[in-house]
Every structure is written in structure tokens, then in C-alpha cells.
Structure 1
Amino acid sequence: MSATATPMDTTSPFGTYPAEGLVRFAWALADRHDLSKGLRKRIRSFVGRVFKGPYDTEADGLKFRIYPAQNYDDRKILAKGRLPEKAEHKLLKPYLTAGTVFVDVGANIGSYSLFAASCGAEVLAVEANPETAAKLAFNLKANGLTSVKLAEVAIGDKEGTLSLWSEPSNCGFATLVEDLTTGEWAGDWSPKEVSVRPLADVVAEAGLGRIDVLKVDVEGFEDRVVLPFLKATDRGQWPRVIMLETNCRPHWAEDCTSRLEALGYRAAGSTNDNTVFELPA
């Protein structure tokens, strides 16, 4: 699916690009899982050429400017009319009360960050892809969430630069792990150099004294986000809750789930793609 001609508009007011009925119908058809995978892929390719976006829409009371030809989360929002991570949000919601400090590493277009902010949490959204970060910034502004902090940086074990690989049909599935771009997820990947900093430094710069809930979704680089942070901070500053994407765990350099359990975290719930770990009081 090519999305090279899709314009990005982060200046026009929300509502400039209404998602009309035909657009919603087309993307709902492209998302029908009762169709064969091959047929669904062909439909999605056609719909992506005709209905690239951008479109302005609401999901679960939150406003998004979306580009469905470019991103999985955008397609799901348009096809389903709701946020894509329903099961994950259900697991996190009991921890997201007023004043909770929520750090979202791999924030994409903001479905987690906006959800957490709507629950009253203080949010730091971290997104390494410059184009995706610009879209996220627009979505934050459209929802009046001026208090949400945004860090446009990748997180790793040390400061420097790395190649961030992205694929034009799913820019939210960007990775610092080059090996992930072959095999199961082979596609039209291309790299760009991005700045990398340890999470502890980014959190301190944002003026946060603690993290209550940490969500990490960085396509096979989760271990290099979480474990160096825990090593660099006192146990009393560790997040009470960590949601970790686990569907790319074969690409980890270290088994993050085993290390978390060895450090005292316990699995408190899981979905197909993510596990929530909680540190007992």
C-alpha cells in the first residue's frame, strides 16, 4: 500500500477533513476479518489509494486527525469508531486516576496518551518518529491537552543516534531493530537517524519526580528501554505498573519478562500483544 502522496496537515483546525459515510464504509470493509487475508490485503491496498486521508474523527470522546493509508492505529479508529487498544485500556484504567504519572514510550498518534490524560493522569508521551510526533502533537492540541508533555526522541540504554526503520503503510510500527524488518514483517522499510537518550534522562528533563505507570511499545526494543531505567534508578522510584509489548520479544537482547519477575514484578494481566506487570507494595 503506497502512501507517498498523502499530505500531512498539522495546522488546519480540527474538523477541516470530515470522515464521511463512504470513507468509513470503505475502511470498515478493508478491516473485515471474515474475509481471507489475501482478499483483505487487496481491498486495503485499493482503499488506501482512494481514501488516504487525512480525516478528522472522534473515538471514545477523543479527537484525532488520522491518515489511514499510513498507520494501523488510524485504520482501526476509522473502521471501528473506537480506540484500537480496547483490552489494554481496560487493564490500565484501574491504575489511571487523577494525579497518576503516566509515561508512554512509543506513543504513536496518542491513543494511550490521550486515554490516560482523559482519566486525569499527568502524561509524558515519547515518540521517536518526527512525522508521527507531529501528528501526535496535533491530536493533543485538538483535545485541549496542553499539559501533556511530548518528547520527540527514541529511548535506549545510552545517549547517541540510531537508525529508526519505518514502513509507509504502518508508520506506527517503527523499530530500532533492523532484524525485525525481514521475515514475518518484511516490507518497504527505510531508515532515518534519530536521537536516542536513556529514559531516566528524558523523565528528569520533563520535570517528573516519579513514574506510576509506564507503557512501552517500541517493536522489539522494549528491554533496552525498561531494564536500563530500572538499573539507573532506586527501587523506590520504579514504576508500580509496567505495560510491556511482548509480541516482538524474539528480538530482545535480554528476556525482559524474566528480569522483571526476578526484580519482584508480577504479571497482573495480559492481552494478545501486551502484558501488565505490577510491583507489589
Structure 2
Amino acid sequence: MTATGIAIDTTSPFGTYGAEGLARFAWALADRHEMTAGLRKRMRTLVSRIWAGPYDAEADGLRFRLYPGSNYDDRKIMARRRLPERAEHDMLARHLVKGTVFVDIGANIGSYALQAARRGAQVLAVEANPETAGRLAFNIAANRLDEIVVATVAVGNMPGTMQLWSEPTNCGFATLVEDLTTGEWAGDWSSRTVTVRPLANLLAAHGIGRVDVLKVDVEGFEDRVLLPYLQDCEPGLLPRAVLIETNCREHWAQDCLAVLAGLGYAIEGETMDNMLFGRAA
């Protein structure tokens, strides 16, 4: 059971839970942006009480077991019948070719990891929230994508343990930055202790000597994940592409964008939430 009381099923085969009919209509209605943000939130709360999930559905040819009552990405897939962050996927597409090594930090339920593996990449999907990592593992198995390895651990600038904060209506929005849980993002947050490992250490443990494409989406902790690794990396081994979430960058202790520019990265694409940087070999 999740904090919202939603039963998690990672054992029944894909297809057990239908995703059509009234449930699909209700989530599509709750996702309509013609409504004000406040009305949309109230509608989502109402829909969550009745149609929280699970539902089995396909999006862009990939299989997912969805729990829209407790995760933003699940809601988007349920409502729109496609992967969230389509613009980001389009930006990354040219970098994700057969043989690419893709490391996805903050993998959530796997939309990026699954897409990369389907394109022929070898994938390390890192997800610190154990509940979300379980959902991710189910989706990997449902798609029979053995190219993906899951690491249920947090990534940071030093080894140890930290408190991972999560909010029951969006398990994919988990953070190691306690300050983020107040103000704009205030909600019913709770924390759990998680193991933290530096990225270089984690990669070595998985036998990864080089990363081609790196995605970092960790809600305001991106600098402590990314910068120690890049600054210690030999120039010839720097990733050729880095997709970094920027919508919580006011919580960074260091400016990732300036460091990336100093290492020779240039902006290849930008959305409201993310920026893609590329570097010539």
C-alpha cells in the first residue's frame, strides 16, 4: 500500500487492469488545462479518490502499469495516451542509438529508460524511492527490456545516508532538499532514510567506464549529483549529452549551467522544466 492507500501490484501480469472507459475519460478531464490551476487540482483530487489505479496501458508503444492517483507521470500517460515530456524525448532522440550508454538518475517509472533501451542503449536507471523503483522494475519486465539495470539508491556528492522526502500524490517528485518541501511545493511530505552514493562510485560498482548520455532529474539536488562527477571526469570521458532538470534550480548550491558551459557544453534544447546540453567529442 502507498501513503495514499493505493494497493501496489507488481506480480499480476500486464493486462490485468483495463485502462479504458470512464477511468480514462475522468483522467483526461482532470488534465484539461482550460481550467484554472485551482479547479484542476480539485478535479484531480476527486478523480484520485475513485480512479487511483492501477491501470495497464500503452504509450508510444511502451507498456506501463499506472497509478495516476499517486504519480504525475502516470496521470499524464493515462490522460494523454503518450509519454510525458515529449519535447525532451525528441531532443534526446539523436543521441540514443544502439550501443549508447545511458544513465538515468531520477528514473521515476521509466519513460526515459524504456525509450532509450528500445532504441538499443544500455541503461542504468537510478531511482532512490523504493516504491517507485518497484513500479519501474515492473514496467521494465512488462516491456522485456533486459538492457536496463535498476539501482535503488540516491546519488549525491558524498557517500552516506540522507532523508528522501516524498509527497503521496506524486511519488516521482522526491527530493533530498528539505527546503523544497515548503513554500511553492508545500504538501503532505514525509521522509525516509536512503543510501547515498557519488555517481562515479555507483558507475564503478556497475562496471560502467563511460557514460554517453546522462539525465539528471532529482528535484533541486542536480548540482550535487552532476558536478562532482563532471569535474573529476577525464575530458575524453565526459558525456556527450546531459539532460538536466532546471525547474528547481533555485535550490542548487552551485550553478550547473555555468559549470557545463565551462566544460565545453552548449545548449541544444530547452523546455520549461529541462535543458539539454551537448559537447563535441
User: Could you tell me the TM-score, scaled by structure 1's length?
Assistant: 0.98
- What whole-Å deviation, never above 9, does each CA across 1:22-69 have from its counterpart, x for those lacking one? 110000000000012221111111100000101100000000001000
Q: 1:9 & 1:167 partners in 2: Cα distance?
A: 20
Tell me which stretches of 4 or more aligned residues in structure 1 moved more than 2 Å.
none
Deviations 1:166-218 (Å, cap 9, x if unpaired)? 00001100000000001100000001000000011111111222100000000
Native 8 Å contact 2:4 2:169 kept in 1: no
Q: Which runs of structure 2 are paired with 1:81-230 in the superposition (5 Å)?
A: 81-230=81-230
Distance 1:5 1:137 in 2: 21
Q: Which amino acid aligns with 1:243?
A: L
Separation in structure 2 between the aligned mates of residue 202 and residue 66 of structure 1, nearest angstrom: 29
Cα distance in 1 for partners of 2:164, 2:232 equals 24
What is the DSSP-based 3-state SS (H/G/I as helix, E as strand, rest coil) of the residue aligned with 1:97?
coil
Query: What do residues 209-228 of structure 1 show as CA deviations (whole Å, max 9, x unaligned)?
Result: 21000000000000001101
Moved more, 247-256 or 262-271: 262-271
- Matched AA of 1:146: D
Letter in structure 1 aligned against 2:249: R
C-alpha distance in 1 between matches for 2:228 and 2:60: 35
Counterpart CA distance in 2 for 1:235 and 1:160 is 28
Question: Counterparts of 1:220 and 1:257 in 2: how far apart (Å)?
Answer: 13
- 8 Å CA contact 1:3–1:52 kept in 2: the answer is no
1:242 corresponding residue in structure 2: 242
Identity of aligned residues (%): 65
Structure-2 separation of matches of 1:5 and 1:173: 18
Structure 1 alignment gaps of length 5 or more = none
CA distance in 1, matches of 2:171, 2:120: 28
For the residue of structure 1 that corresponds to 2:250, the secondary structure is helix
Query: Residue type matched to 1:57 in 2?
Result: A
Q: CA shift at 1:119, angstroms?
A: 1.1
Amino acid across the alignment from 2:45? S
**Structure 2 unaligned runs (5+)?**
none
C-alpha deviations, 1:110-146, integer Å up to 9, x for none?
A: 0100011111111110000000000000000000012
Structure 2 length-normalised TM:
0.98
Which residue of structure 1 lines up, in the alignment, with residue 12 of structure 2? 12
SS in 2 for 1:82: coil
CA distance in 1, matches of 2:153, 2:52: 27
Greater CA drift, 205-214 or 176-185: 205-214
Count of residue correspondences: 280
1:251 aligns to what? 251
String of CA shifts for 1:64-94, please: whole Å, max 9, x gaps. 0010000000000000000001000000001
The 8 Å contact of residues 3 and 49 in structure 1, kept in 2 or not, is answered as no
- What secondary structure, in the 3-state scheme, does the structure 1 residue paired with 2:173 have? coil
Q: How far did 1:98 drift? A: 0.5
Structure 2 contact 243–274 (Cα < 8 Å) conserved? yes
Q: Is the 8 A contact 1:166 1:189 kept in 2?
A: yes
What corresponds to 1:73 in structure 2? 73
2:162–2:194 CA contact under 8 A, matched in 1: yes
CA-CA distance at 1:3 after TM superposition: 5.9
